[in-house]
Amino acid sequence: MLKPIGLTEGHYECRSLDETLPIFTDLLAAEVVERSEKKAVVKHPNTAWRLVIHQGGPDSKNKPHTNHYGFRVATSKEIPKAHQYISDHKAQYKIKSVTAPHEAHFAYSIYFKEPGGNDLEIEYYNPGASKHGRQNAATHWTTPLTEADFPGRGYIPQAMSHGTLNCDDKEASDKFLANVLGLSIIGGGRMSTYISVPNMGPWYVVVLPTPHRDYLSEANRFTLQGTRHHRAPRAPDQRSRAFFAKRHQQKLVGDYFVSLVDEPYVLAPPVGEHCRRFFLRNAPRHQ
122's enclosing H/E stretch is strand 119-125
Q: Which tens digit of pLDDT belongs to each residue from 68-114?
A: 999 999 999 999 999 999 999 999 999 999 999 999 878 899 999 99
Name the helix (H) or strand (E) containing 88: helix 78-88
Asked if residues 41 and 47 have their Cβ atoms less than 8 Å apart, the reply is no
Whole-structure pTM value:
0.81
Task: Concatenate the DSSP letters of all residues of 16-53 into one string.
Answer: -HHHHHHIIIIIS--EEEEE-SSEEEEE-TT-S-EEEE
The rounded distance, in Å, linking the Cα atoms of 243 and 122 is 37
Average pLDDT of the segment spanning 35-40? 96
Mean pLDDT of the chain: 80
What class has domain 6-209?
A: alpha beta
> Do 136 and 204 form a contact (C-beta atoms < 8 A)?
yes
Which of the pair, 213 or 36, is modelled with greater confidence? 36
N- to C-terminal Cα distance for the chain? 20
Q: Is residue 120 over pLDDT 50?
A: yes
Instruction: Answer yes or no: is pLDDT of 39 > 60.
Output: yes
Domains of the chain, by residue range, sit at 6-209, 221-282
Across residues 197-218, what is the average pLDDT?
83
